[in-house]
Each structure stands twice: as structure tokens, then as C-alpha cells.
Structure 1
Amino acid sequence: MKRQKLTTLTLGALVGALVLFLASCSEEEFNPSLTREFSIQSTFNGATYKIKVGLPLDYNSSGIKHSSIYVLDGEENFDFVANHCEEISDRYSVTNVVVVGIGYGNDRELDYTPTKISPTTGGGGDFLRFLENELVPRIEQEFSVDTTRNSRAILGHSYGGLFGACALAVNNQLFGNYILLSPSIWFDNEVSLLLEKEYRERNRDKPQLVFLGIGQSENLGRMQAPFEAFFQTLRDNYSSISLSKNREDDLDHMGSKNPNIIKGLTYYFKNR
């Protein structure tokens, strides 16, 4: 009898936890009526990407050409980013943006890294060409968005943050705003810092908005030192930059992601 009662209580707890989990998932999902979806195959790497587009509540109501945020790791981050863009823009009474979530086509390690140090790395150049020549033009043709560099932002975490840092260096005319969270600047002996230095002269006087976020508990040598070096390079060499960094106390690589997304978006909406 005691075992049966314990089993019943355990089952009840599991059911309760499942209900709470499903409720949280429902709350996290961005409004389906404001979400558009399509797939696009890249001619540069042959991969097919599932794209989600989150529209503002006032989309098309006043002829506004909205700014756009391109979100890497779209399967994981689209709903969270789109919901908080709506919340933060409303809080500060500023125009919301069109959020473009980019799903996985190739392995993220391949698409988001700039150099080939293994069979699964080094596809960042092709992925960047896909964005510039295929995805961004389609978004700007099919949706009511501004087509200027300063209206476009990219948001990425970890390897996605590395990709954004490399895009800032090698193709600075594509995005004017960068939200880079726990960027893997350490990759391939900090090759992204070398790319930044190589292209610095043509980028340093352009207006940039850059938010850098990391967790205080992330690996001190591998993550923190390159992160700080990247921040100081931008601070010391870019004359027209709007730059901010944040360390989330006592949080690690994954734990700091969502808090830094919120702070990065807040910085973006207040300073763009």
C-alpha cells in the first residue's frame, strides 16, 4: 500500500512537471499568426535552410520599413528573440523589428567557422555568401524591411558569435549591428582577431553597434581572454562604434545565453 501511494505521488509529480513544461513552451512560442516560414536552398553550399520570420504587431499597418535581426541557431533562439523584441520595443516605445530565424542546413560547426581545421569546419565563407546573396535579398524582396546596412543586425551565440565577429571583419557592409554572445574567438588560434586586423582599415570609421556578452563562469583562458581582447580591439580602433559588454555573474556558457540575449536586445533597441 505504501509503495502504491508513493508511485501515485511520483506519477502526480511527473504529470505536474509535464504540465508546467508544456505551459512554459507555449508561453515561449512566438505568436503563430505573426510567423511566416519557408525553406531556401543555397547555391553556395547546397544546404537547405528552414527560415522563420517573426513580424511586428504593427507590420504593414503604417507603411513602415522595419529593421531586421538575423538570428543564428534559429531552432533554439527564434521564439525567445522574437518575443523579447516585441516586449523590449514596447517597453521603450520604439519601432519593433522583423526577426529572421535561420535554421540548420549544414552542421553549425561547419557553417559558423571561418577556417578549415577539421572535416566539419570552415564553411563560414559559403554561409556568409548565402546570407548576402540569397537570404537577405529574399527577405528584403518579400517583406517590408529597410534595405540599408544600418538597419540589419545579426545575433549569434558561441560559434554563432564567432561567425558574427568574422562577418564584422570580412563583410562589414552586410550588417551594421552585432549582438555576439559568448563568441568562440579562441577558434583556430584566434583567427577572427587576425581577420579583424586584416580588414580594420576599411571598417574602422564605419558606424557599428556591437554588444558583447559572456558568462562570468566561462573558461577563463579559452573564453574570457580572447573575449576581452576582441572588446578592447573594437574599443581602441573603431571611431564610430557604439560598444557595450556584459558579464553575467556566476553563469556559464549556456546559462548566460538568454540573459545576455535580453541585455543585448535592450542595448540594441535603446541605441540603434
Structure 2
Amino acid sequence: MTHFNFRFALNTFIAVLLFLSATGPLQAADTTKVTIGEEYWHNSKLLGAARKYQVSLPERYEGNSRKYPSLYIIDSDFHFLHVASSIKHLTRMGKLPPMIVVGVATLSDFDYVYHTTWQHSNPKEQSAEYGGIKTFNNYISNELIPIIDKAFRTNNQRAVAGYSLGGLFVLNNYLDSTSKFNAFLAMSPSVWFDNMSIVQRFKQIPTISRDVSNLDKAGNKRLFISVANEQGMGVAELVTAIKPKFKDNSNWAFVSIPEENHFSTALPALLKGLEFLAPNYGMDAGELLALGDYNAALNYFESLQQQWGGFQIEWLQAYQFAKYVFWSEQTNKIGEILKSIQSRFPDAHAQIAIQLANGWLKKNQLEKADALIAQVKLAAKKMPEWYKAKADLLTAQGKPELAKALYLRANELAKQSKWSAWEVNGLKP
């Protein structure tokens, strides 16, 4: 059994203190702020006041002209940081499609309650504390969304997420036939409000079946509901009402998280909701092996395009796919593989060619690597990865001076595209 060495730990602690006291704290010039997004204010005509919102963009957003799905999170002063950072991390790890995260701020407890509720149907329970949900929904739909769509490259895939009363707002928005959202994440929604009147409203929606050939707008919407170890939320009654409405349909899900309470469930519920929007998204090289040949792998990629957020081969998927090609011993088919990629995923052709070239470089097959790098030179002239691969090739060929200029160019392009520090550092020899 290993014993804790108290004397060693104490001496180490003292040594660290002495070092810090001798060197002093780092100066301001040596510090850099770590940011997950940006905060904005604007004057809302519909609400008649200054309003705040936050935006977190996907990594590598600056280096392309793509349009992205967006996720709006209600009560964002409470939720934005963990939502935006979780999505950024899961996207980086290949578990989610990249998306723009928009935080819809509520500026106080009163502001939050008022703008996520309607007025009680029972006159005895009516209060000035409630009743602003219609106005707030109008603000988001007709003022905030146009601001976001104009300033950032969004597509028509929009999700809205909310927790507690924010979850009630999400459910209400789902029932709104004019909603500009097509995915709804209601985490521990406050169904109890107004004597659970929203349950009766859900009972009135038509039955939605996946068997129809052309799903209408309601059928194409996705709904996620979760509940933790909570009493009196009304979620059980809501789920009972909803189940008969979604026959054989994968566009809704209910998840119980009994190990969490009302306050601890926000992040776990969000992760479940994101998984619902992108099930089985992204396999590593080992998992791709189980699918079969490269056509099976590309068929899998194409199947992901039907998900809410769609699918494009990002750098990580390209890296994993290239590993898969080598591991599955399909390198003799690289020519036809790239031809198929050019046809089915043209935007990923250069990225995959570069990753395959990196595979040849690791095997010291310099001529094969050189051929692939040269093949995509024009298409990849703004890609830092291309300059890095070419520089690595020149280094392997014994031309370090020529390689140095290309390493610098790769670094320069990455910084222009606002790559993360870890990505920029990875471009060094």
C-alpha cells in the first residue's frame, strides 16, 4: 500500500511558496484572457429597453464561408458559459456539428419570470409578475433572430433550449405554429404553471407519424424533454399526454435523470438534449473499421446529413477517416477514394487529401505524400494544414530552410482565421 509522504509534500509546498515570493506575480503583459464568446447590448424597440445577448462562434468559423445551425439558450446569464463551452468541446471532439450559440439574457429574476410566463387563467392567481411570454417571444423571433442572422452566417436550422421556466417558454414556443425554431430542448420545464394548462394544449395537437411520406412542419420539429429528481413539476403528466401524439416517431424524446436535482440538472440535461439532436454523431477510426470498406464509411457520413444540424467532414473527421484508410489497408484505393470524396463531399476533398498525405509522411513514403499535397495545392492555398504538410515534407526531404517559411505561413494563416492556441501550436515543427 502506498503511503502519503507528508514531509515531502510539506517541503514541496514551501519550495513553491519561496519560488513565488522570489519571482513575484506575473505582470499584466504576461496574461491573456480566455473567452468563450462575446457579449452585446442593443436597444430593443419591441421591449422598449436595452437588452443583452451573447454569441459563441464555432472554432475555425473565420476560415470559411459556411453557414451554421444555431442554438438559442434562454436565461443566458445563468446558462451561457456552460452551454457554449460544452458545445465547443463536444464539437472539437467530433460528437456534435459545429453551431452558433446565442444567449438570450434575462436581466433579473422579475424579468425572467415575467417573460417566460403567460397570465394565469384563474383570476385569483393573476399577478403583474406574470404575462410577458408573448412579447418576449415576439422580441426573439422578430428582433433578435434577424440581428443574429444579419451579423453571423446562420442557416435555417435553429434550436431553442430552456430550463425550468425557460423550459416552459420552450414548450410554449413548440406549440406556436409561427415559431422560427425547429428544435426544442425543454429541460425540467415548469409544466406546473397555471395548473398545468399547457398539458391540455399538447393534448390538442394532431398525431404525428413518421410513416407519412411528406412530414409537415410539425412533424419536422424535434422536441426533447427532461426531468430530474423533482416533485410537482408536472412533467410526468405532460409526457403521458405527449406519447400518443408521436407514434413511431423519432422526433421527440423524454429523459429522466433521477441522480440529479432541479439545480444540478442543467448541464447533464443539456448534454442529453444535444445527444438527441445529433445521435451517434462522429466515429473514430476504430469504429469506422467495423462499418466495412470506404463506401460504407461515406454512406455513414451521408446518413448524418439528415440530422438536425446536418453533417460536414471537419478536420477531426478527416483525420479519423485517413487513419481508418490506413488501418483498413485501403491505401491502394486512395485514388478512387478521393474521387468519391470529390463527388460526395467536395468541401472536404482537400482536407482529406492532406490527412492522407500526413499518413504517408509518417510511413516515410515521401513521393506518395508529395503527390497528394501537390494534387490539392490550388484548393488548399488558404489552409494552414496544407502549408504544415508541405513543410513537414520538405523537412523530411532535408530542406529545412524552405520548410521554415511554410511553417511561418501556416502559423500566420491560422492566426488570421482565429484558430485556438492549441491548434496554432500544433502547426509548429
TM-score bracket, shorter-length normalisation: 0.7 to 0.9
Could you tell me how far apart the structure 1 residues matched to 2:104 and 2:241 are?
29
1:107 aligns with 2:111: yes
Q: C-alpha deviations, 1:134-157, integer Å up to 9, x for none?
A: 0001100110111x2xx1001100
Structure possessing the higher relative contact order (Cα contacts under 8 Å, 6 or more residues apart): 1
Letter in 1 for 2:242: L
Structure 2 length-normalised TM: 0.51
Distance 1:238 1:48, change over 3 A: farther
* Pick aligned residue for 1:72 from 58, 74, 78: 74
Q: C-alpha deviations, 1:33-63, integer Å up to 9, x for none?
A: x623211333333243211100000213221
* Pick aligned residue for 2:138 from 109, 121, 129: 129
Could you tell me how far apart the structure 1 residues matched to 2:276 and 2:191 are?
22
Could you tell me how far apart the structure 2 residues matched to 1:256 and 1:121 are?
25
* Pick aligned residue for 2:274 from 246, 265, 270: 265
1:179 aligns with 2:191: no
Query: Superposition pairs for residues 207-226 of structure 1, below 5 Å?
Result: 207-216=220-229, 218-219=230-231, 222-223=232-233, 226=234
RMSD: 2.4
Could you tell me how far apart the structure 2 residues matched to 1:58 and 1:107 are?
35
| Kept in 1: contact 2:207–2:246 (CA 8 A) | no
Question: In structure 2, the residue corresponding to 1:259 is in which secondary structure?
Answer: helix
Could you tell me how far apart the structure 2 residues matched to 1:104 and 1:173 are?
20
| Kept in 1: contact 2:168–2:190 (CA 8 A) | yes
Question: In structure 2, the residue corresponding to 1:113 is in which secondary structure?
Answer: coil
| Kept in 2: contact 1:156–1:163 (CA 8 A) | yes
Distance 1:43 1:140, change over 3 A: same
Structure 1 length-normalised TM: 0.78
Bigger proportion of residues as strand? 1
Deviation for aligned residue 1:231: 2.5
Question: In structure 1, the residue corresponding to 2:68 is in which secondary structure?
Answer: coil
Query: Superposition pairs for residues 174-253 of structure 1, below 5 Å?
Result: 174-198=180-204, 200=206, 205-216=218-229, 218-219=230-231, 222-223=232-233, 226-238=234-246, 242-253=251-262
Deviation for aligned residue 1:188: 0.3
Could you tell me how far apart the structure 2 residues matched to 1:204 and 1:198 are?
16
Paired residue for 1:54?
A: 56
Paired residue for 2:40?
A: 38
| Kept in 1: contact 2:71–2:99 (CA 8 A) | yes
Question: In structure 2, the residue corresponding to 1:101 is in which secondary structure?
Answer: strand
Larger Cα Rg: Structure 1 or Structure 2? Answer: 2
Letter in 2 for 1:132: S
Question: In structure 1, the residue corresponding to 2:40 is in which secondary structure?
Answer: strand
| Kept in 2: contact 1:213–1:247 (CA 8 A) | yes
Q: How many residues align?
A: 234
| Kept in 1: contact 2:205–2:245 (CA 8 A) | no
Question: In structure 2, the residue corresponding to 1:44 is in which secondary structure?
Answer: coil
